[in-house]
């Protein structure tokens, strides 16, 4: 029903995004993507050498290539929003990053903003990676909870959320502020 005009790379990635939206990462198989395009699985390998390469292209789509908002806080928030906008976004992007197949546009802004606090280049890299690990770890947790809520297995009574935090977003902000305070403190030590 979604037969493409052309089976180019973008068409394949767009089909993969639709399969992801409907089935999540566990259902994102080469078979389903091929079915979505009404082509043979083998045809997908003409565009992508393997599934990891296709997932990396999906990840690049998730994180986007737009100019990033300025500042460590705004950039970190933008990354979380991007991940949350797609089913299993944190897991897919994390996997592509770990495989070294994804360039995270937000990372350059995180490094730049960290440097502005006065830390040296090496510490700015550490700050950027620490923020990325935090955002991915946090969002991975959020999306697993979301999935659990859908399948009805989450127990509302036990939670990693501190008592009194009504909104996961507030909790995210508090942790983010703490890490940024750490970057600034590292700068003032030098």
Question: According to the binding rule CB under 8 A, does residue 171 interact with its own copies?
Answer: yes
- Out of 1, 6, 65, 162, the residue judged to bind its own copies by CB under 8 A: 162
Assess 73 for contact with its own copies (CB under 8 A): no
DSSP 64-106: --SPPPSSHHHHHHHHHHHHHTSTTHHHHHHHHHHTT----HH
Among 6, 42, 158, 190, binds its own copies (CB under 8 A): 158
Nearest to its own copies of 37, 128 (CB atom): 128
Q: Is 65 in the site for its own copies (CB under 8 A)?
A: no
50: contact with its own copies by CB under 8 A: yes
Binding mask 12-31 for its own copies (x = CB under 8 A): --------------------
On whether the CB atoms of residues 76 and 110 are closer than 8 A, the answer is: yes
Token pair 């389903």: residue: 32
| Nearest-10 crossing angle of helices 168-189, 121-151 | 170
Q: Where do we find the tokens 């939206």?
A: 21
**75 touching its own copies, by CB under 8 A:** no
CB of 138 to its own copies, least distance (A): 5
d(CA 187, CA 121): 11
Q: Which is nearer to its own copies, 70 or 129 (CB)?
A: 129
Place of tokens 């399969």: 19
Q: Which position among 154, 166, 167, 169 is part of the footprint of its own copies (CB under 8 A)?
A: 154
**Nearest-angstrom CA–CA distance, 174 and 176:** 5
Q: Say how many CA atoms lie within 13 Å of 17 toward its Cβ.
A: 15
Catalog residues that contact its own copies under the rule CB under 8 A: 50, 52, 94-95, 97-101, 103-104, 122-123, 125-127, 129-130, 132-138, 140-142, 144-145, 148, 153-165, 171, 174-175, 177-186, 189
């Amino acid at each position: 029903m979604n037969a493409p005009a052309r089976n180019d790379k973008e068409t394949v990635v767009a089909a993969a995004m639709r399969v992801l939206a409907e089935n999540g990462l566990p259902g994102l198989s080469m078979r389903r993507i091929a079915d979505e395009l009404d082509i043979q699985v083998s045809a997908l390998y003409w565009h992508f050498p393997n599934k990891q390469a296709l997932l990396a292209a999906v990840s690049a789509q998730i994180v986007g290539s737009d100019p990033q908002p300025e500042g460590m806080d705004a950039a970190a928030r933008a990354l979380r929003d991007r991940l949350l906008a797609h089913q299993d976004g944190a897991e897919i992007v994390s996997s592509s990053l770990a495989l070294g197949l994804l360039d995270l546009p937000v990372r350059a802004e995180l490094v730049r903003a960290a440097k502005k606090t006065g830390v040296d280049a090496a510490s700015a890299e550490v700050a950027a990676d620490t923020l990325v690990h935090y955002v991915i770890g946090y969002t991975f947790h959020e999306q697993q909870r979301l999935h659990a809520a859908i399948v009805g297995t989450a127990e509302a009574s036990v939670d990693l959320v501190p008592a009194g935090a009504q909104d996961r977003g507030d909790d995210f902000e508090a942790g983010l502020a703490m890490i940024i305070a750490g970057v600034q403190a590292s700068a003032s030590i030098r």
